[in-house]
Amino acid sequence: MIEAGALDEVRALAGIDPSLPAAKALGVPQLLRYLAGEVALEAAINEANIATRQYAKRQATWFRNRTDWKWLDDLELSNLISQIRAELT
């Protein structure tokens, strides 16, 4: 993300109200701390990576607890996608 311009995107958010959702996006708080000179870039990246893993774990837990959902295997999903594409054309 850093190589793809994440710092420039976060720099554009500098000064944004910290209560706004954009200010809370994964990696933004950490890179804002770097831009403010509070932490080194490597530390900010490490903190963002940790936050991302924690978020992914919460998502996995949330999905795992959806026992009332029907989960599709690869073939079922492929068939569903084919049906949707056929209906759209």
What is the mean pLDDT, run by run of 10 residues, along the chain of 89 residues?
93 92 95 96 97 97 91 95 96
- Please tell me the predicted confidence (pLDDT) of residue 84: 97
Q: Say if residues 10 and 33 touch (Cβ distance below 8 Å).
A: no
Q: What is the pLDDT of residue 1?
A: 87
Q: Which of 54, 58, 51, 63 is nearest to 24 (CA)?
A: 51
Cβ neighbours for 68, distance < 8 A, ≥ 6 positions apart: none
Torsion angle (degrees, nearest 10) of CA 58, 60, 66, 71? 160
Domains of the chain: 6-88 (1.10.287.890)
